[in-house]
Structures are given as C-alpha cells and as structure tokens.
Structure 1
C-alpha cells in the first residue's frame, strides 16, 4: 500500500510538472498507480491554469 501511495504521489508531482517517467509507468507493481497520479496531476495543473486565466480576465473587465 505504501508503494502504491508513493507511486501515486510521484506521478501527481510529475503530472503537475508536465512530465512522465516511462520506466515508472511500466513498473508492473506500481505503474498503474503512478499513471493515475500523472493524470490527476495534469488535471490539477489544468485547473490551476484555468482559474488563473479566469481571474486575469475578470480583473481586466473590472479594471476597464
């Protein structure tokens, strides 16, 4: 269980950074957990970028 959580955490960090470690992804024991973390990290990065863009757009409208 700890290996799976560590793999997920590493995958999440890699996903947030926009990278993927092919060797970790192919690991038969923890590869699936790593890949789920990558996807979750990419979604979190997308959400953060989207919220920042909305805030910028709203700020621009409020200033104008």
Structure 2
C-alpha cells in the first residue's frame, strides 16, 4: 500500500539510493586518488629538474678540470 502511494517499489528506491551513494563515494575516492597521483608526479618532476641541474653543474666542473 505504501508502495502504491509513492508510485514505486520501496525496495527498488532504497537500492537505487544506495547505488547513488556508493557511486558518489567511488567518485570522491577516485578524485582523491587522482590528486595524490598528480601531487606525486609534480614532486617527481621537481626532483628530476633538480637532478638535471646538478648534472649540468657536474659536467661543467668536469669540463673545467680538463
């Protein structure tokens, strides 16, 4: 009787709402993972740039010694 008042199956509605909530959690989690990956990539880029600069300095010093 309650189902007919709301025009649908109460269980289906509850399951549908649960799925939406789970999808929202997955989306949020996915976004967080993406941000973490992006931050890790930025850190790696900064590290590689520092190493590149150190390599340039080492090459310059070696060339001066020759």
**What TM-score does the superposition give when structure 2 sets the normalisation length?**
0.54
Structure with bigger helix share is: 2
Match of 2:15 among 18, 33, 42: 33
Q: 4+ runs of 1 displaced by more than 3 Å? A: none
Aligned to 1:53: 35
- Provide structure 2 residue ranges, at least 5 long, that are not aligned to the other structure: 1-7, 47-66
Pairwise CA RMSD: 1.4
- Provide structure 1 residue ranges, at least 5 long, that are not aligned to the other structure: 1-25
Q: CA deviation at 1:28?
A: 2.0
CA distance in 2, matches of 1:45, 1:32: 20
Which protein is bigger by CA-based radius of gyration? 2
* Greater relative contact order (Cα < 8 A, sep 6+): 1
**What TM-score does the superposition give when structure 1 sets the normalisation length?**
0.55
Q: CA deviation at 1:38?
A: 0.5
